[in-house]
A and B are shown apart, each in its own frame.
Chain A
């Protein structure tokens, strides 16, 4: 035991000696540079304090850490607050939407929503879809929509309708629509759809303007007095190879579709609609500049004795096509519109655009020509996130004045 103690004692002494030597080696030379730095470190040690966030830093830190944006986007238990989404002129619109994706073993998406506006517009939707069938090559979708738009704008039919003839009417419709399609690659879709549309119109509630039925007659406004129910069958094909659909800089999007709308009541309002849209994006200067072009047409074919209800005619004017004119300014059985934009990047968060729009509505397909197009031009500001435009401000000018549009999302 004493021998063991002796050995331990020697061991401890040796360790202490080594430690002391090591300390001596590490000790800074008095009056030396390291001694100066050592003093500074000792001084700082006396004043040590934990880093803390204040003011804006604290707020931004919490904003990120609490995932505020993601929570807003994700909603509460699948319920999301939704803004807008109604027709232009509806006033401030707000609603709620319940969304659940990947239900039933991951194949079913569900969406149920309702929204209303200050001018008493309302819209109810139910959608159930299976967008990922057969390894995402097959999609199936069913949508039921109820709309009640009490101040829909109507200026009359045809290219010569007058701005001063603005009226308003209530459009109330319910649509049940199913679609089935195939998807090849990531950019090609083809499919068919079918459904039922039940519509009513009534007096408009915007007291600033006359109600439509007080100015127009069924003779110049088809189906003003009676609104038939329709069935719809159709087919479509789309080739979409845009790089970023939310803010495309290259590629194209081409869509053709055909739909038959059959009058279920009187067989007076049966028509066929052929629609085509061509979008092309030509980038240059490292995609910081883009020429964007869109051509769109909607042609309606009716058998003798048949016509198209005024509220189902394609419309022209507003933020999506003929900027510089009011929304729904023109309507007729046929439509053609061209948009050309020169877009340039100001900085990562903002693109600007110079645009020119031209288009017309027409009653006879023989008028399908570039004659007598209405024109508009203007400048736009597009505020971007990483891959999409989240706010668009377009200032458009036409022979009818200047319009400014605030819109979420891109124009096309």
Chain B
């Protein structure tokens, strides 16, 4: 899915120039580069709630090609190739390692619904999963309650909780999800409780509605009900965001969503965790009011259909391998009387009702597909995927183990299996995407040395190269021109020595180094990393990183 076409830096400039309009100066680096935060939380006038048609979303994405599909570098990144913090994304585990406690806590800021009676305010019979769309605990906090399907106790609820923790740690805005156990007696009907029936009509809810609703969901052997309590997000629901274009009534939303790196890279994370339901309908724009400013914050919601869970049943065997509608494959199956098919139909899955259907042996991160085409995923370039793969690889085995434990899966064997699958899929993601570009990364200047790490080597996904070659240049930021400094180095590994000219240069001068791997036999892996420096009063500062694809 990820385009392998190279992006030329001149093209990148063109895109940037188009984006920032003709008035923008033609400099690669501006004085405030690299920026760490995109202030897209400017106060805006209240937009109108806009609910998407999920039928249309399916048809549009399956039979059309919405959004800009030209392969171009993500538009919302800084000059280091990173995603600045914004109303879409907050750099967390990928940049600053979270502690185990922080990872396990995830987005949760409390402990979930308080013990004692829960007041049911709204129930729902519509939609694919029955539940209570609004309850209020004894502290007055409000939650939506979702259940496991009969026969798959713990499956959808654990998936929902694990999804919120993994995607939160990755940097996305997600709701607080808590696993809860309760008995029906704990539920009280609110005085104005209503239920939405299958016709979308609301009527007064009664005790029988609760009973009937609970009859349709999984129940624990001890008679209690297990559910996920998803805390109602702060702010006003403005409807989902699309994976392409921008919201026309949000002035802060200037980067087409299909060109946002965190949405393109979400493909890699979704593949890792098998979030095949990553479509517009499972997102939410919330109008929040913070520090006197009103703005939209963008959320990923509803992780009940990730990992081995398909929300209302086990995940379909097709999930992750094929879109709902792929005409070529469908016609091939039709014409060959079913003799032709994809490899996924032969995959054998172990039977773990609390896990559902997921495995890691046949998983191919570069071929993974959601339910139907996603414009941002289709625009994902190796650089975007590399960015996301770094985040995926930031989760250690132990961290994964501890996060999965938060899913409270009672079958230890099933939990161990799930942990193993997540680790295996993580490594496949890392192995593929850290080798898709030059993974020399994590640059730091210490004295006269430039330190770095080769991530593919570090994680064991690539052999250690014979050497790293570095060619240094002066860089004219006004003209985007490089002049060789006649300083070439070859080192067995980091660090590289920074030429004296660069260290002693006057302020506001730019330099760049091109680093390549050299493998045995002298052949060079063509992909290079270009690191840009700006001389500032305090010394050299890394201001840019570009990776050839």
Main secondary structure of the interface of B (DSSP, over half): loop
Is A184 in contact with chain B by the CB < 8 A criterion? Answer: no
What residues of A have a CB within 8 angstroms of the CB of B334 in the complex? 346, 352
- Cα distance, A342 to B19, chains bound together (Å): 56
Nearest CB of chain A from residue B66's CB, rounded to whole Å: 11
User: Contact between B31 and A48 (Cβ–Cβ < 8 Å)?
Assistant: no
Is B360 in contact with chain A by the CB < 8 A criterion? Answer: no
- Beta-carbon nearest neighbor of A46 in chain B: B251
Is A10 in contact with chain B by the CB < 8 A criterion? Answer: no
User: Contact between B55 and A37 (Cβ–Cβ < 8 Å)?
Assistant: no
Is B346 in contact with chain A by the CB < 8 A criterion? Answer: yes
What residues of A have a CB within 8 angstroms of the CB of B325 in the complex? 347-349
What residues of B have a CB within 8 angstroms of the CB of A285 in the complex? 341, 345-346
- Cα distance, A53 to B344, chains bound together (Å): 38
User: Contact between A346 and B330 (Cβ–Cβ < 8 Å)?
Assistant: yes
Identify the stretch in A25-33, A261-269, A367-375, A402-410 within 8 Å (CB) of chain B at 4 or more residues.
A25-33
Of A63, A286, A346, which is within 8 A of B344 by CB? Answer: A286
Of B25, B252, B333, which is within 8 A of A346 by CB? Answer: B333
User: Contact between B198 and A60 (Cβ–Cβ < 8 Å)?
Assistant: no
User: Contact between A50 and B333 (Cβ–Cβ < 8 Å)?
Assistant: no
- Beta-carbon nearest neighbor of B322 in chain A: A347
User: Contact between A352 and B30 (Cβ–Cβ < 8 Å)?
Assistant: no
Of B24, B54, B248, which is within 8 A of A49 by CB? Answer: B248
Is B474 in contact with chain A by the CB < 8 A criterion? Answer: no
Chain A interface size band reads 35 or more
User: Contact between B338 and A70 (Cβ–Cβ < 8 Å)?
Assistant: no
Is B249 in contact with chain A by the CB < 8 A criterion? Answer: yes
Within 8 A of A (CB), among B11-66: 19-21, 23-25, 30-33, 35, 38-40, 42, 44-45, 47-48, 50-56, 59-60
Residues 44-64 of A, flagged 1 when their CB comes within 8 A of B and 0 if not, give 110011110100110011011
Is B326 in contact with chain A by the CB < 8 A criterion? Answer: yes
Assuming the A-B contacts A34-B35, A347-B326, are A48 and B251 also in contact, with contact meaning beta carbons closer than 8 angstroms in the complex? yes
Is A2 in contact with chain B by the CB < 8 A criterion? Answer: no
- Cα distance, A44 to B325, chains bound together (Å): 36
User: Contact between B56 and A33 (Cβ–Cβ < 8 Å)?
Assistant: no
Nearest CB of chain A from residue B84's CB, rounded to whole Å: 9
Is B318 in contact with chain A by the CB < 8 A criterion? Answer: yes
User: Contact between A71 and B30 (Cβ–Cβ < 8 Å)?
Assistant: no
Is B254 in contact with chain A by the CB < 8 A criterion? Answer: yes
User: Contact between A347 and B324 (Cβ–Cβ < 8 Å)?
Assistant: yes
Assuming the A-B contacts A48-B251, A348-B318, are A33 and B199 also in contact, with contact meaning beta carbons closer than 8 angstroms in the complex? no
- Beta-carbon nearest neighbor of B54 in chain A: A64
- Beta-carbon nearest neighbor of A66 in chain B: B200
Residues 297-328 of A, flagged 1 when their CB comes within 8 A of B and 0 if not, give 00000000000000000000000000000000
Is A289 in contact with chain B by the CB < 8 A criterion? Answer: yes
Nearest CB of chain A from residue B421's CB, rounded to whole Å: 17
User: Contact between A61 and B51 (Cβ–Cβ < 8 Å)?
Assistant: yes
Residues 120-143 of A, flagged 1 when their CB comes within 8 A of B and 0 if not, give 000000000000000000000000
Is B208 in contact with chain A by the CB < 8 A criterion? Answer: yes
What residues of B have a CB within 8 angstroms of the CB of A41 in the complex? 40, 42, 251-252, 254
Nearest CB of chain A from residue B108's CB, rounded to whole Å: 30
User: Contact between A61 and B56 (Cβ–Cβ < 8 Å)?
Assistant: yes
- Listed residue (A33, A61, A64, A67) with the most chain B CB atoms within 10 angstroms of its CB: A33
- Cα distance, A33 to B16, chains bound together (Å): 11
- Listed residue (A39, A48, A66, A287) with the most chain B CB atoms within 10 angstroms of its CB: A48
Assuming the A-B contacts A36-B30, A60-B59, A289-B338, are A51 and B200 also in contact, with contact meaning beta carbons closer than 8 angstroms in the complex? no
Assuming the A-B contacts A31-B25, A286-B347, are A63 and B248 also in contact, with contact meaning beta carbons closer than 8 angstroms in the complex? no
Assuming the A-B contacts A53-B53, A60-B56, are A31 and B338 also in contact, with contact meaning beta carbons closer than 8 angstroms in the complex? no
User: Contact between A354 and B48 (Cβ–Cβ < 8 Å)?
Assistant: no
- Cα distance, A31 to B23, chains bound together (Å): 10
Assuming the A-B contacts A51-B50, A57-B53, A344-B338, are A32 and B30 also in contact, with contact meaning beta carbons closer than 8 angstroms in the complex? yes
Is B92 in contact with chain A by the CB < 8 A criterion? Answer: no
User: Contact between A288 and B317 (Cβ–Cβ < 8 Å)?
Assistant: yes
User: Contact between B31 and A31 (Cβ–Cβ < 8 Å)?
Assistant: yes
User: Contact between B345 and A37 (Cβ–Cβ < 8 Å)?
Assistant: no
User: Contact between A32 and B32 (Cβ–Cβ < 8 Å)?
Assistant: yes
User: Contact between B345 and A288 (Cβ–Cβ < 8 Å)?
Assistant: yes
- Cα distance, A269 to B326, chains bound together (Å): 59
Nearest CB of chain A from residue B219's CB, rounded to whole Å: 15
Within 8 A of A (CB), among B315-367: 316-318, 324-326, 329-330, 333-334, 337-338, 341, 344-347, 349
- Listed residue (B47, B200, B329) with the most chain A CB atoms within 10 angstroms of its CB: B200
- Cα distance, A63 to B247, chains bound together (Å): 23
User: Contact between A48 and B249 (Cβ–Cβ < 8 Å)?
Assistant: yes
Assuming the A-B contacts A57-B53, A70-B200, A352-B338, are A43 and B35 also in contact, with contact meaning beta carbons closer than 8 angstroms in the complex? no
What residues of B have a CB within 8 angstroms of the CB of A49 in the complex? 248-249
- Cα distance, A288 to B316, chains bound together (Å): 10
What residues of A have a CB within 8 angstroms of the CB of B25 in the complex? 31
Of B31, B40, B48, B199, which is within 8 A of A67 by CB? Answer: B199
User: Contact between A48 and B200 (Cβ–Cβ < 8 Å)?
Assistant: no
What residues of B have a CB within 8 angstroms of the CB of A39 in the complex? 20-21, 23
User: Contact between A51 and B39 (Cβ–Cβ < 8 Å)?
Assistant: no
- Cα distance, A56 to B35, chains bound together (Å): 41
Of B53, B54, B55, B251, which is within 8 A of A44 by CB? Answer: B251
- Cα distance, A56 to B316, chains bound together (Å): 29
What residues of A have a CB within 8 angstroms of the CB of B344 in the complex? 286
What residues of B have a CB within 8 angstroms of the CB of A26 in the complex? 39
Assuming the A-B contacts A34-B32, A40-B20, A43-B21, are A63 and B345 also in contact, with contact meaning beta carbons closer than 8 angstroms in the complex? no
Nearest CB of chain B from residue A226's CB, rounded to whole Å: 51
Within 8 A of B (CB), among A340-394: 342, 344-350, 352, 354
Nearest CB of chain A from residue B273's CB, rounded to whole Å: 21
Of B55, B248, B317, which is within 8 A of A60 by CB? Answer: B55
Is A411 in contact with chain B by the CB < 8 A criterion? Answer: no
User: Contact between A36 and B50 (Cβ–Cβ < 8 Å)?
Assistant: no
What residues of B have a CB within 8 angstroms of the CB of A50 in the complex? 47-48, 50, 248-249
Is A65 in contact with chain B by the CB < 8 A criterion? Answer: yes
User: Contact between A56 and B56 (Cβ–Cβ < 8 Å)?
Assistant: yes
Is A74 in contact with chain B by the CB < 8 A criterion? Answer: yes
Is A106 in contact with chain B by the CB < 8 A criterion? Answer: yes
Of A32, A38, A40, A61, which is within 8 A of B31 by CB? Answer: A32
What residues of B have a CB within 8 angstroms of the CB of A48 in the complex? 45, 248-249, 251
What residues of A have a CB within 8 angstroms of the CB of B341 in the complex? 285, 288
What residues of B have a CB within 8 angstroms of the CB of A60 in the complex? 53, 55-56, 59
Could you list 6 further interchain pairs (A-B, Cβ under 8 angstroms) beyond the known A32-B31, A37-B20, A354-B337?
Answer: A48-B249, A50-B48, A51-B248, A286-B345, A344-B337, A352-B337
Shortest beta-carbon contacts, A-B, top 8: A344-B338, A32-B32, A61-B53, A286-B317, A45-B251, A285-B345, A60-B55, A57-B56
What are 25 pairs between A and B in contact, CB < 8 Å? Answer: A26-B39, A28-B32, A31-B25, A32-B31, A32-B33, A33-B78, A34-B38, A36-B24, A37-B38, A39-B23, A40-B19, A41-B252, A48-B45, A50-B50, A60-B53, A60-B55, A61-B56, A64-B54, A70-B126, A285-B346, A286-B345, A342-B337, A344-B338, A345-B333, A346-B334
Residues of chain A touching chain B, judged by Cβ–Cβ distance below 8 Å, are: 26, 28-29, 31-45, 48-51, 53, 56-57, 60-61, 63-67, 70-71, 74, 106, 285-289, 342, 344-350, 352, 354
